[in-house]
Amino acid sequence: MKLIFLGPPGAGKGTQAAGVSAHLRVPHISTGDMFRSAIRNATPVGLEAKKYLDAGELVPDSVVIDMVRERLSMADCQDGYLLDGFPRTVDQAVALDEISAPDAVVDIQVLDERLMDRLTGRRICEKCSGTFHISKLADEHICPVCGGAVYQRDDDQPETISVRLRAYHEQTEPLIGYYSGQDQKSRPGENRLKIVNGDLKPEDVFRAILATLE
Ligand code: AMP
């Protein structure tokens, strides 16, 4: 199955994608994680992408599309994939339909007023990559699952979050029209969009996603 998780930053895409990809046995591909890893390793893509991630803006389409095209050509993606954070513009979606068209697109919806608190409070374990809200941590520096150290993403600061939310509404939200078949660039007569309420407990969101995919 070829799947996409859409939704604003902080909707829970990463957490849900980890669970659903393990359940469906398809690779979880997060373009944000790919960029962060490229930045850590100072690759040419990382050097190009860093200024955009720091500012909370989208990396140019050509850079992201080339990176995803290369990743999807790998052997583990031939029977399916779960893309988290890609596409984020209609032009990326059109390119993906040419590379390897998704079967279903899950849009995880959460209201803006909930997202700022979710993102400013988000902490990530550097060992197991688990994501937690600071209010749920007994020790704000230690992962409750594996005991690893937890950190805050550089772009989870209020000013950068506002830029990311604006980018979402202006550039990514139109994908809802694209995948439901209502955009002029949509594939004719095709509705691949499944909407899920992301404002529930993570295990309930997980169940809702599996139910909508059945
Ligand atoms: P994420 O981890 O998905 O929140 O992504 C973190 C950052 O990586 C975003 O704010 C963008 O700067 C960049 N990024 C990730 N995916 C994309 C994409 N599909 N298109 C453009 N920029 C992206």
Q: Does the beta carbon of 102 sit less than 6 angstroms from any atom of ligand 1?
A: no
- pLDDT tens readout for residues 70-104: 999 999 999 999 999 999 999 999 999 999 999 99
- Ligand 1 proximity of 168 Cβ (cutoff 6 Å): no
Domain ranges (residues) in the chain: 2-26+79-110+158-213
- pTM of the entire structure? 0.95
Region 140-148: what's the mean pLDDT?
96
Q: Does residue 187 have an active-site annotation?
A: no
Residue among 20, 11, 17, 51 at smallest CA distance from 31: 17
Q: What is the mean pLDDT of residues 175-199?
A: 94
Is the pLDDT score of 188 beyond 90?
Answer: no
Cis peptide before 87 (omega within 30 of 0): yes
Task: For 25-44, write each residue's pLDDT tens digit.
Answer: 999 999 999 999 999 999 99
Check whether 189 has a pLDDT greater than 90. Answer: no
- Give domain 2-26+79-110+158-213's CATH architecture: 3-Layer(aba) Sandwich (3.40)
**Residues belonging to the chain:** 214
- Does any ligand 1 atom lie closer than 6 A to the CB of residue 5? no
Helices (H), the chain: 13-24, 31-40, 44-55, 61-72, 90-100, 112-120, 158-167, 174-180, 202-213
Active-site pick, 2, 71, 88, 123: 88
